[in-house]
Chain A
Amino acid sequence: EIVLTQSPGTLSLSPGERATLSCRASQSVSSTYLAWYQQKPGQAPRLLIYGASSRATGIPDRFSGSGSGTDFTLTISRLEPKDFAVYYCQQYVSSPLTFGGGTKVEIK
Chain B
Amino acid sequence: QVQLVESGGGVVQPGRSLRLSCAASGFTFSGYAMHWVRQAPGKGLEWVAIISYDGTYIYHADSVKGRFTISRDNSKNTLYLQMSSLRTEDTAVYSCAREQWRALDIWGQGTMVTVSS
Contacts and interface: CB of A to CB of B under 8 A. Distances in A.
Q: How many residues of B sit at the interface, in one of the four size bands?
A: 20 to 34
**Of A47, A98, A101, which is in contact with the most chain B CB atoms at under 10 Å from its CB?**
A47
A56 B98 CA distance: 14
Interface string A21-49: 00000000000110101010001111100
Interface residues of A, number: 25
Interface in B77-117: 95, 99-105, 107-110
Interface stretch (A11-19, A68-76, A77-85, A89-97): A89-97
B75 to A, nearest CB: 26
A35 B102 contact: yes
B113 to A, nearest CB: 16
Nearest to B106: A47
